[in-house]
Amino acid sequence: MTTATAHELPVEGNDGKKTGWLAWLDENFEKPFLISGMVAIILIISFQAFYRYIGSHFSTNAAGAIWTEELARFIFIWISYLAIPIAIKKRNNIRVDIVYDRLPERLQRISWGIVNLCFLSLVGVVFCMSIFLLSKQLEFPQVAPGTRMLYFFPYLILPFGFGLMGLRLIQDLWKDHKRCSWGDILIGALFFIAISLPAFLATGFSTLTILFGYFLLYLVIGVPISVSLGLAATMTIINQGTLPIAYVAQTAFTSIDSFPIMAIPFFIAAGVFMGAGGLSRRLLELADEILGSLPGGIALAAIATSMFFAAISGSGPATVAAIGALTIPAMVQRGYDKFFSAAIVASAGSIGVMIPPSNPFVVYGVSAQVSIGKLFMGGIIPGVLTGISLMVFTYFYSKKRGWQGVQKKRSVATFIKAFWDAKWALMVPVIILGGIYGGLLTPTEAAAIAALYGLVVGFFVYRELNLKNIVPCIMDACSTSAIVIILMAMATIFGYIMTIEKVPDTIANAMLGLTDNKYMILMMINVLLLIVGTFMEALAAIVILTPILLPIVIQIGVDPVHFGIIMVVNLAVGFVTPPVGVNLFVASGIANAKIEDISRVILPMIGIMLAVLLLITYIPAIPLLLVH
């Protein structure tokens, strides 16, 4: 994932700085929509869960809140597409930047211009086609069944949101133009035209050649993965006429008009609120009370806290950020090796996507149409196994290095005090998992209530959330989740063309033609996923590869839930493998250490994670023990 500083343009005074109310509007236009929208959907879905529960027990008709789900979905779509312009301003997106990182500074600037032009071309197509869709909605009005709202109004987000994206991209191009010579601008524009022309002029190429050729080309030049998927599909439609071009805009809306997908922003928001609200610090204090006296005590406490925080955030990088900011400086201060400190927290952060709730499990569940609840249960044992294995390694490694625990007064009384201080944080998994498996809540409702709980505890109990830091928290949650949401939308378009062309069937037949041995096929898939995980973010890999690999494993008799667990645990290894190991980037930033130095120290930890992967792959009874 590439992150750069926010780009702030358009209104300039004589000193070259932004001035006036237009400058304020440019900086803050999206914020009121995102803040009010996120709070609204959290409250609406929490109300829906409460109303349904009360209605089912005390009323003869519990269907009165059906409209809430529909309204929340529409608001969710609006804030998802309104958050993308924020990501554009910050240059924060999921992309493969192996080539970009090795370019000289001048070519990097040209590269950004090409990327923005590619993004702008996709935005332009969706914008124009959305105008067409809105005209059809006026001509043939459709009414939403729950809210009785004309679909014209929810669909307005397409021209509004993509129009705003276009504006932000033009602003970014304008700022780049100030740093580039006209010659460099011309080179970038000509390169963009050159790679686009084949879609309009080339004949004789197969659909798959155009689809995968463009997709790989866009990945190599650094176009965000979501845009690469959507634009490759669009170019294929233009060249081959596979589908009506309006399908791109239609799917941008319908593919994310989904109640289960809404769990993603809720879980992300819950993790952000609870990290900023002081829950992670109190969990660490409890873990330190239990494990702090042992060799490697604070490192052990960091792993244990990561395991528990995983049951809150559903995100690997969020876990590393929340726990690493507290533990890495403390470990270095107590004499631990800086690179080991960063490596162990980065590895423990990978547990964040195994132990429920888990955003990758939500994405896989939606993509594969399997129970998210079963996936959550299946992730518990692999996550706990990974955590315990890392703790055993840390204990003996620290003992060998002489890193002793902190000796202080520890007693039943101090344990009770630490436990009591952390009680509000300890309740979160009970709410999430208890609600889901007690039959009271869907995963999406549990996520919304967890986010609401984090807000309430952070504001009124621990009082570490306030009106100053809540706005950055909500903006962070919105932009992070929106990047995932647009990825899923564009992957739907890409995947539909693959389905039409029977790509999954072709790959399945090719692989089964090599061998029909179940264990060999699982080994080949694991190797493929490990390779993909080194350069592609886990959520992107899931949405792209699930439609391809799932038919293969079903043919050889693998449970789709079991395969989902294999896929997520496998791709969790990618969080700590360069060059796209996002946990490594977060940990290296906290420790102020080079990625290559941390990468050398982390090898034994990667070996431990691979051993757990082999266990859950070839002994399905282990991960599925709690599922059935």
Which residues are bridge partners to 93 per DSSP? 2
For residue 422, the model assigns a pLDDT of 84
pLDDT, mean of each 10-residue run, the chain (628 residues):
36 48 77 92 89 58 66 94 89 75 84 92 95 92 88 94 93 82 87 92 85 90 88 92 88 88 85 80 82 85 85 73 81 87 90 85 90 90 94 92 78 87 84 80 87 88 85 87 84 83 77 84 90 78 87 91 94 80 79 81 93 94 88
Read off φ and ψ for residue 204, nearest 5 degrees: 90, -10
Burial class (CB in 10 A: 0-12, 13-18, 19+), 314: buried
pLDDT of residue 128: 94
Is 280 in contact with 321 (CB distance < 8 Å)?
no
Domain boundaries, the chain: 29-254, 261-465+501-618
pTM, full prediction = 0.81
Question: Quick check: 3 and 479 in contact, CB under 8 A?
Answer: no
What pLDDT score was predicted for residue 548?
A: 86
Backbone angles phi, psi at 93, to 5 degrees: -160, 165
Q: Record the tokens describing residue 471, joined without a space.
A: 């706005």
* CB 240 within 8 Å of CB 203: no
Residue of 97, 39, 42 lying closest to 579 (CA atoms)? 97
| pLDDT at residue 620 in the model | 93
Q: What is the chain's Cα-based Rg?
A: 25
**Cβ-contact 453, 431 below 8 angstroms:** yes
Q: What is the pLDDT of residue 62?
A: 44
Q: What is the pLDDT of residue 545?
A: 87
Longest dimension (CA), the chain: 78
Q: Which residues in 504-527 are b (16+ Cβ under 10 Å) and which e?
A: beeebeebeeeeeeeeebbeebbe
Q: How confident is the model over 129-179, as pLDDT tens digits?
A: 999 999 999 999 999 888 889 989 999 999 999 999 999 999 888 887 777
pLDDT in tens, 235-279: 999 988 878 898 899 999 998 888 888 888 888 888 888 878 777
